[in-house]
Amino acid sequence: MVSRYLDAAATAPLRPEARAAMLDALDAGPGNPSSVHAAGHRARSTVETSRERVAAALGARPGELVFTSGGTEANNLAVIGLALANPRGRHLITSPLEHPSVLESCRLLARVHGFEVTVLPVDGAGRIEPSDAAAAMRDDTTLATIGLANAEVGTVQPLPAIALEARRRGVLVHTDAVQAAAGLPVSFGSGGWPGEGVDAISVASHKFGGPQGAGALLVRDHLPIEPLLHGGGQERGARSGTENVAAIAGFAAAVVAATASVGGRALELVRSRDALVRRVLDEVVGARLTGDPVERLPGHASFVVAGVSGESLLVALDAAGLAVSSGSACAAGRDEPSPALLAMGIEPGLARTAIRFTLPDPIPEAVVERIVDVLGRETRRRGAERRSYSTSFPATESSDAA
């Protein structure tokens, strides 16, 4: 059976442009970008050319981009680094839908540095109301860190409205755009999403189809940032450590390729996603869409399916050659229901049935047919098991009956 990879939110397939750029960098030979000899200059040239390419694709200036080891480090650097370097106060704003790298950074600031953290409410679609964010802003609020889109349910937040109010109030805004940047026209400038109101944006290479282990933080060049890693002062002092030249080259090639086609590709993914959603909701008993039905990432379709476990669905789909996930890859293997789904008001038992399809490309009708067939078969089988169990063990009379 032909396999189909439908877990792009965990990591997207490597683009041929990224692979070629990485091989070119590796074939160029050794060279530390901080060395002064010719090999070092060659490596530095690759890093700086890549910096210019990534910055231009995302509407930033090269001096506003810090290369990191991925989205987790970029989020840590943004939240901790901006909060500590901009001592307006010791109050942070975030949401329950954030990636663990954001939430754990907020918890560290609270535990070690005495920050107070306000966690905003979300509605049943996983959406933050701008008025709630505005009401949470105080004179001592240093930073609001709100993801542009959630990985588990795909809901895109009304970040421009939140950022506009934050700028008016003097509050810095960071957004984790790791999930959103490959599917939406994300830009640090005025021509994209979320635009000029945001002070820092995190992105990760492998969501664009670049290599794993590379990412970047875009941060306004006038803002100080406290480094997390100390040493040789690379990345303009914001992130010490020898740069991963080949990964950075692949990252740049992937970003350029992805952003060049993001608009037309998004429309194709939306059509394919909506076709999948309609079939699942129409034909799979107990299936319910999670997240906003409209304001969501283009290739993202997530469900809970009453009466079956998410794990059993994953196993059945994998056996059918369909690679999907039950939610955030960073929470894989945990038995607890998703905190994001619980915050949206989904009860724990139902939250454990979550399943997520994230499409790297539009999928044909035959793949949709296979998905619906597997989900339908599993729900029917589990229903039959429950009926068999209930008839095998008839209820006994109560011991305190009259």
Tell me the whole-structure pTM to 2 decimals. Answer: 0.92
Residue 336: per-residue pLDDT: 81
Residue-wise pLDDT for 26-83, tens only, equals 999 999 999 999 999 999 999 999 999 999 999 999 999 999 999 999 999 999 999 9
- Average pLDDT estimate for 325-338: 67
Cα 360 to its chain centre, rounded Å, is 14
392 domain-assigned: no
The predicted structure's pLDDT at residue 394: 37
Q: Please enumerate in sequence order all residues whose Cβ is within 8 A of that of 143, keeping only pairs 6 or more positions apart, or say none.
A: 79, 82, 83, 86, 92, 93, 171, 172, 173, 174
Q: Please report whether residue 199 resides in a domain.
A: yes
Give pLDDT, residue 184.
92
**Could you tell me the CATH number of the domain that includes residue 210?**
3.40.640.10
Q: Residue 49 has what pLDDT?
A: 98
212 lies in a domain? yes
pLDDT tops 70 at residue 156: yes
Angle at 312 between CA 102 and CA 378, to 5 degrees: 130
Domain end, chosen from 214, 233, 260, is at 260
Tens-digit pLDDT profile for residues 86-95: 988 999 999 9
Q: Is a pLDDT exceeding 90 seen at residue 10?
A: yes
pLDDT by residue (tens digit) across 333-390? 556 899 999 999 999 999 999 999 999 999 999 999 999 999 999 998 876 555 443 3
pLDDT digits (tens, 9 = 90+) for 199-213: 999 999 999 999 999
CA 203 and chain centroid, separation: 9
CATH number for the domain spanning 371: value is: 3.90.1150.10
**Does one domain contain both 267 and 256?**
no
Question: Which positions are catalytic?
Answer: 330
What lies within 8 Å, CB to CB, of 160 at 6+ separation is 193, 194, 195, 197
Q: Largest Cα–Cα distance in the chain?
A: 95
Asked whether the predicted pLDDT for residue 225 surpasses 90, the reply is yes
- pLDDT score recorded for residue 288: 97
> Of 260, 293, 317, which closes a domain?
260
Range of the domain at 316: 262-387
**Does residue 106 sit within a domain?**
yes
- Claim to verify: residue 104 and residue 180 sit in the same structural domain: yes
CA pair distance 398, 402, nearest whole angstrom? 9
